[in-house]
Amino acid sequence: MTRPARMHDVTDETRHIVDLVLNYSRQRLLTDDNPLDKPLPPAELARLAGVTINEKGIGAQKALGVFEHVLAPACITTDDPRYLSFIPSAPSKAAAAFDLVVSASALYGGSWLEGAGAVHAENEVLRWLAGEFGLPATAGGVFVQGGTLGNLSALVAARETARERGIRPDRWRVVCSAEAHSSIASAARVMDVEVVTVAPDAGGVLHGDAVRTALEEHGDSVFAVVATAGSTNFGIVDDIASVAEVTRELGVWLHVDGAYGLAAALSPEARHYFAGLEHADSLIVDPHKWLFAPFDACALLYRDPELGRRAHTQHAEYLDTLTETSDWSPSDFAAHLTRRARGLPLWFSLATYGAEVYREAITASITLAEQIAAEIESRDELELVRRPQLSVVVFERRGWDKADYTTWSNRLLDDQHAFVTPSSHGGRTNARFAILNPRTRFEDLVGILDTMR
């Protein structure tokens, strides 16, 4: 009979498994030319992988072989410098390596009682971010899974704060730009609240006067206003200062969704775009985007963390030993309980390299976006849709329709040249570079443009 503790005891089998995994991880982390790779059809992937789950197991060597030769090549490599779609991830080598340490250390990141050391390190990062964004020294928060959960948790805290003030409308509402991320609408559906979208200006920027009109129309039913600090489609930063002026005057919670773009506030070249950020009641930024951490991590910050705690602390008899203390337990600050210490890879990378190299890497992406935008403008067959503000460059190929863009995109991936999916705005299909990886070169982007001739 198989021993129940076989999976947990330190044995020769265990040592072999650990060596296999660490050797593979070391090779992956230290290889500069990992392939871009691409997905396979479900039937083909099932045929190649075969059946891997059975009563006796197939063994670590064979399982890792299936992953290395079948499953991994069917996943696009998100840290490839030619991955330019959606919002890429480009974790630093230190952050990616330390992610292994987090798993190996059997850490729980939900409470101070169980993970004080991990929570301390995460909180140091959160305090540093709060300082960079102009929030008071008393600000704080938690690392959550991603921007969707961060936005949801912040909006729940905003509504709960409005309720504590005695506001009881027939229908709760949140105001945001028509260009706001889809996660705001998703959070609203979960909360069963209404989204009031406000038209930005011709450049995609939301201003305070438009927000004021919406607040005056809907009154106390609005429990929060969301400003966007770097829209996903164009990388546009709302006029946070003018929006903050209105929310402060009318006593409405201001949340800033900076999942992608707020990291640019660390760059001296872009800091001016974020004037007024210091007045936010809550904000998010995703380290797995432009702060070079591995998936998945979103930093959620509250100006007054106690408001987040009151909105989210879960109460149960078995949790009394946690909730009856004043300890800083990360599970109290978002819509979650069980929690990985997902902020530690960012902490390790920042502690290892220092903040200066982060500023330089972010600035390099902004500079590269400006350079390739100028190249696009110099080509007769291309048209720049909007000048980049941060590191997203959107452009059109004159004369192309959606089918042309799709064919071109598929060919780029099939040839392992690049991953650039079509996007659209205002009913028009376009191409889009999201430049976040410090290893992306001007020559890479020019080579992609050359394929559009």
CATH number of 98-353: 3.40.640.10
Pick the closest to residue 340 from 97, 103, 126 (CA basis): 103
Please list the residue range(s) of the chain that carry CATH number 3.90.1150.170.
355-450
Question: CA dihedral defined by 334, 335, 338, 343, rounded to 10 degrees?
Answer: -40
The span from the CA of 26 to the CA of 91, in Å, is 15
Provide the β-strand partners of residue 142: 300
Residues of the chain below pLDDT 50: none
Instruction: Give the burial string for 284-315 (b: 16+ CB within 10 Å, else e).
Output: bbbbbbbbbbbbbbbbbbbbbbebbbebbeee
Residue 383 token pair: 């048209």
> Considering only the top CATH level, what class is 355-450?
alpha beta
pLDDT at residue 2, rounded to an integer:
65
Please list the residue range(s) of the chain that carry CATH number 3.40.640.10.
98-353
Pick the closest to residue 80 from 438, 338, 376 (CA basis): 438
**Dihedral-angle region of residue 426 (phi above 0 means left; psi in -120 to 50 means alpha; beta otherwise):** left
Pick the closest to residue 96 from 147, 27, 38 (CA basis): 27
Provide the β-strand partners of residue 299: 143, 285
pLDDT at residue 1, rounded to an integer:
56
Helices (H), 316-377: 320-323, 344-353, 355-377
Residue 276 · residue 241 · CB < 8 Å: yes
pLDDT at residue 326, rounded to an integer:
83
Sign of the Cα pseudo-torsion (99, 258, 122, 224, in order) = negative
pLDDT at residue 12, rounded to an integer:
97
